C-alpha cells in the first residue's frame, strides 16, 4: 500500500502524448470545467430549472449562487485545490450543489453512497485522506452525521463537517448557511484544470477493500457529453429522471453531468419505490432515465395498477443485466413508444458499449450494444493476451478518452488493470458478433450484481468468516427476479454450531456493514467443493444454492 505522500496520478501516467493530442484534436477532450459549464447556463438560461427532488427546486442561477457560497465556506475552513472532500448525501438537490461547489474551488469530490456504513465509509475517508465531508443527519432510520462524528476521531485529516437538512453541531457548518456565504471570483480563484483529479469514485469490484477510481473533468465529460448527445440525444427541454444513486457512476454521469452538458434538467428520487417513481415521471414530465435493469421490471409491474401518463418518457438506458425481448416490448407499450436501451460499462470506463437510436429490437434485446461513443475501442482477449476470433469468449478490454487514470494510492492494482499499451482490462467476459455487437457473457471477477450494484464476494466472505459459528465461508450469487442477483453465504459450521441467516445478519449489522451486503440466504454444508489446487469450486456452489 502507498503512503499519503505518494504523488497524484497524472494523465501522462495513463496516456502517451500522441493519444492526448488526438483526444484534444478530435474534440473528445474539450477542456473547460464543471464550474465553467454552470456559469454558461446560469448566464444564458438563469431561470431554467436545473435540479428538483420533490422537496427542493433550483434553477441554474440559484445553483451557481449556492455552489459559490458553499465553495467559499469550504475555502475558509481550510480546503484547498486538490484536497479531497467526501460527500454522503441521498439523491437531493444538495448533492448537485455540493458537487459543483467542490468542483469550483478545484477540490476533488469523493462521493459515498448512503447505503455504506462505518466500515466502508471509514475506509474511504482514510484512504482518500478527505479533509472535509458533506453529509446529513438521519435518513431512512440511520444517523449519518453521528457516524461521521464518530469516524472523525480515527481520521486525522478530516477537519470539517458540513450538515445538510439537519442541525449542525459545534464546530460544524450548516449546509444552507454556508451556501449564503458572500464571495467573489478573487476568493474562489481560477477554474481548475481539465486534467486535474476531479472525482474519486470508490468501487469494490472483486477486491476485499474498495478502490478509488480517479477521473478528471475530461474523462468524465467525455462520457457524459457523449451519452447526452449521441445516445440520449438530449435537448435543453428534456428532464432526466434519476433514481440511481448520484453518488455513483451512473447517477453522477447520466443524472448530473449529462443534463449539465446541454443545459437541461434533472429530477432526483432519493428512495426507489416504483409507484412513487411513476408518479414523479408523470408530474415532472420526465423524458429519459438510466438505471439497473431490475428497476424497469418493478416500474412496469407498478404501472399495471397505477396507470400513470408516461407518454413523456422516450428513452430508458439499462445496465447490469440483459434486456429480455419481452421486457423491451412491454416497456414500449407501457411508455407509449418509449425505447429501452442496454449499456455495458463500469466505474473505471463509464460507458463501454451500448445500443443507439435506430437499433432494432433484436439488437437491443440480443446484445449489450456496440462501442458507445466515437473514440472508444473495445477488444476481447484470451488467456494468452491475444484477441479472440469473432464469436469466441474473451476478456473485455477498453481503450479511449473516458478511461480512469488509475486507482488512488494503489499503483499495484493500477498496473494489474491497465497494460503498457493503455488498455483497461475489465475482468468481464464477452463475445462479439460479425457486426461488432457485444454480449457480456460472464466475469473473471468474483462479484455479485445486486440491483445494478457490484458487491465483492471476497469482502462479504471476510465479514461472515468472523462469525463465531462459522468455520469456512464462500459467498456466491443466486438469481432473483427483481434484483437480478442476491447474496448467498455458503458456510461450513464449527463443531457443535448451527449458523443461521438471522444470526449472521444480526452479527454483521452490529459491525456497521452496508445493508445491501448482508447475505439474504445462508446454506449450510459439511464441506466445500474444492479443486485439486485447493480452490473453492464456486460454480458447484452456485448450482447447490439454486437447488436449495
Q: Give yes or no for residue 328 having a pLDDT over 90.
A: no
Grid cell at residue 283 = 408530474
pLDDT value at position 532?
56
Q: Could you tell me how many helices (H) and strands (E) the chain has, helices first?
A: 20, 28
> With pLDDT > 70 as the criterion, what percentage of the chain qualifies?
97
Query: Of all helices (H) and strands (E), which one includes residue 426?
Result: strand 424-432
The C-alpha atoms of residue 504 and residue 470 are separated, in whole angstroms, by 9
Please, which residues have CB within 8 angstroms of residue 228's CB and are 6 or more apart in sequence?
234, 258, 259, 261, 262
How much is the pLDDT for 482? Answer: 85
Q: What is the pLDDT of residue 442?
A: 74
What is the pLDDT, as a whole number, of residue 2?
37
pTM comes to 0.87
Q: Please, are residues 396 and 428 in contact by the beta-carbon 8 Å criterion?
A: yes
Spatial distance between the Cα atoms of 335 and 330, rounded to a whole number of angstroms? 8
Residue 543 pLDDT level (bands cut at 50, 70, 90) = confident
Give yes or no for residue 268 having a pLDDT over 80. yes
Within 8 A by CB and 6+ apart from 365, the residues are 322, 323, 324, 325, 327, 328
Calculate mean pLDDT across residues 119-129: 95
Question: What pLDDT, in 10s, does the model give residues 335-386?
Answer: 988 899 999 999 999 999 999 988 988 888 889 999 999 999 999 999 889 9
What separation in angstroms does the CA of 327 have from each of 160, 300, 301, 338? 47, 9, 11, 12
Strands (DSSP E) found in 230-337 = 239-242, 265-268, 288-292, 315-319
Alpha-carbon distance 502 to 7, whole Å?
45
Query: Whole-angstrom Cα distance, residue 181 to residue 68?
Result: 8
- What angle in degrees, to the nearest 10, is found between the helix axes of 93-104 and 60-76? 60
Q: 4-8, 97-101, 334-338, 383-387 — which is least confidently predicted?
A: 4-8
What are the Cα distances from residue 509, in Å, to 118, 506, 519? Answer: 11, 5, 11
What band does 534 get if pLDDT is binned at 50, 70 and 90?
Answer: low
Round to whole Å and give the CA distance between 168 and 158. Answer: 16
> How confident is the model over 376-435, as pLDDT tens digits?
999 999 988 999 999 998 999 999 999 999 999 999 999 999 999 999 999 998 999 999
User: pLDDT higher for 357 or 51?
Assistant: 51
Task: Inform me whether the pLDDT recorded for 1 exceeds 50.
Answer: no
What number of CA atoms fall less than 13 Å from residue 397's CA on the CB side? 23
**Mean per-residue pLDDT, 295-316:** 92
Lowest model confidence (mean pLDDT) among 64-78, 155-169, 314-328: 314-328
Give the C-alpha distances (Å, rounded to integers) separating 62 from 39, 47, 469: 11, 8, 55
Identify the bridge partners of residue 164 per DSSP, sorted by sequence position.
136
User: What's the mean pLDDT when you consider all of the chain?
Assistant: 92
- pLDDT of 531 reads 62
Mean pLDDT of 292-306: 90
Q: For residue 125, what is the enclosing H or E element? A: helix 118-128
Most distant pair of Cα atoms in the chain: their distance: 72
CA–CA separation, 518 and 503 (whole Å)? 11
Which residues, including other chains, have CB under 8 Å from residue 331's CB and lie 6 or more apart? 296, 300, 316, 338, 339, 340
Q: What one-character-per-residue DSSP string does 479-530 give?
A: EETTTEEEEEEEEEEPTT----HHHHHHHHHTTT--GGGS-SEEEE-SS--B
- Kindly state the average pLDDT of the residues 33-48: 98
Alpha-carbon span 54 to 122, nearest angstrom: 31
For the chain, give the number of residues. Answer: 548
Among residues 342, 393, 332, 385, which one has the least CA distance to residue 363? 342
Contacts of 154 (CB under 8 A, 6+ apart): 122, 126
Q: pLDDT tens digit string along 496-512?
A: 999 999 999 999 999 88
Please compute the mean of the pLDDT values over residues 477-494 and round it to a whole number: 91
The domains of the chain, with CATH numbers, are 1-30+375-445 (2.30.38.10), 34-215 (3.40.50.12780), 450-547 (3.30.300.30)
- Which is it for strands 132-136 and 84-87: parallel, antiparallel or unpaired? parallel
Does residue 241 carry a pLDDT above 70?
yes
Residues 6+ apart with CB under 8 A from 278: 299, 302, 303, 306, 308, 310
Contact 448, 455 (CB under 8 A): yes
pLDDT score recorded for residue 8: 67
Amino acid at each position: 500500500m502507498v503512503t499519503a505522500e505518494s504523488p497524484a496520478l497524472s494523465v501522462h501516467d495513463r496516456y502517451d502524448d500522441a493519444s492526448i493530442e488526438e483526444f484534444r484534436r478530435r474534440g473528445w477532450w474539450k477542456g473547460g470545467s464543471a464550474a465553467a459549464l454552470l456559469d454558461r447556463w446560469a448566464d444564458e438560461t438563469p431561470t431554467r430549472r436545473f435540479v428538483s427532488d420533490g422537496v427542493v427546486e433550483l434553477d441554474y442561477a440559484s445553483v451557481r449562487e449556492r455552489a459559490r457560497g458553499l465553495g467559499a465556506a469550504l475555502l475558509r475552513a481550510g480546503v484547498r485545490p486538490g484536497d479531497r472532500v467526501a460527500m454522503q448525501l441521498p439523491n437531493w438537490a444538495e448533492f448537485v450543489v455540493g458537487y459543483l461547489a467542490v468542483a469550483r474551488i478545484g477540490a476533488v469530490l469523493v462521493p459515498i453512497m448512503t447505503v455504506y456504513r462505518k466500515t466502508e465509509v471509514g475506509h474511504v475517508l482514510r484512504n482518500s485522506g478527505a479533509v472535509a465531508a458533506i453529509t446529513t443527519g438521519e435518513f431512512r432510520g440511520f444517523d449519518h452525521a453521528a457516524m461521521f462524528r464518530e469516524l472523525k476521531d480515527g481520521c486525522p485529516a478530516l477537519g470539517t463537517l458540513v450538515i445538510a437538512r439537519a442541525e449542525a453541531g459545534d464546530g460544524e457548518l450548516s449546509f444552507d448557511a454556508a451556501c449564503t456565504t458572500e464571495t467573489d471570483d478573487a476568493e474562489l480563484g481560477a477554474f481548475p484544470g481539465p486534467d486535474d483529479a476531479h472525482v474519486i469514485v470508490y468501487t469494490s469490484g472483486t477486491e476485499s477493500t474498495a478502490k478509488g477510481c480517479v477521473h478528471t473533468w475530461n474523462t468524465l465529460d467525455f462520457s457524459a457529453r457523449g451519452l447526452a448527445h449521441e445516445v440520449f440525444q438530449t435537448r435543453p427541454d428534456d428532464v432526466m429522471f434519476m433514481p440511481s444513486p448520484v453518488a455513483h457512476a451512473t447517477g453522477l454521469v447520466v443524472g448530473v453531468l449529462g443534463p449539465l452538458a446541454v443545459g437541461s434538467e434533472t429530477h432526483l428520487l432519493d428512495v426507489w419505490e416504483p409507484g412513487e417513481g411513476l408518479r414523479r415521471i408523470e408530474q415532472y414530465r420526465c423524458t429519459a432515465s438510466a438505471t439497473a435493469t431490475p428497476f424497469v421490471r418493478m416500474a412496469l409491474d407498478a404501472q399495471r395498477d397505477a396507470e400513470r401518463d408516461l407518454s413523456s418518457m422516450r428513452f430508458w438506458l439499462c445496465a447490469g443485466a440483459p434486456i429480455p425481448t419481452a421486457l423491451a416490448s412491454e416497456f414500449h407499450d407501457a411508455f407509449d413508444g418509449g425505447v429501452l436501451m442496454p449499456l455495458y460499462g463500469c466505474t473505471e470506463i463509464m460507458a463501454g458499449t451500448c445500443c443507439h437510436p435506430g437499433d432494432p429490437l433484436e439488437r437491443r434485446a440480443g446484445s449489450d450494444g456496440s462501442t458507445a461513443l466515437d473514440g472508444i475501442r473495445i477488444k476481447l482477449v484470451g488467456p494468452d493476451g491475444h484477441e479472440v476470433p469473432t464469436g469466441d469468449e474473451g476478456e473485455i478490454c477498453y481503450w479511449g478518452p473516458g478511461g480512469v487514470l488509475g486507482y488512488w494510492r494503489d499503483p499495484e492494482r493500477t498496473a494489474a488493470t491497465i497494460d503498457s499499451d493503455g488498455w483497461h482490462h475489465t475482468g468481464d467476459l464477452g463475445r462479439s458478433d460479425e457486426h461488432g455487437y457485444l454480449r457480456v457473457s460472464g466475469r473473471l471477477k468474483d462479484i455479485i450484481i445486486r440491483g445494478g450494484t457490484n458487491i465483492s464476494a471476497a469482502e462479504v466472505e471476510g465479514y461472515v468468516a468472523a462469525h463465531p459459528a462459522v468455520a469456512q465461508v464462500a459467498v456466491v450469487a443466486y438469481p432473483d427476479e427483481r434484483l437480478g442477483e442476491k447474496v448467498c453465504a455458503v458456510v461450513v459450521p464449527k463443531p457443535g454450531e448451527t449458523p443461521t441467516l438471522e444470526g449472521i445478519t444480526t452479527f454483521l449489522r452490529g459491525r456497521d456493514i452496508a445493508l445491501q451486503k448482508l447475505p439474504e440466504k445462508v446454506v449450510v454444508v459439511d464441506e466445500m467443493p474444492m479443486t485439486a489446487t485447493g480452490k473453492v469450486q464456486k460454480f458447484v456452489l452456485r448450482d447447490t444454492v439454486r437447488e436449495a
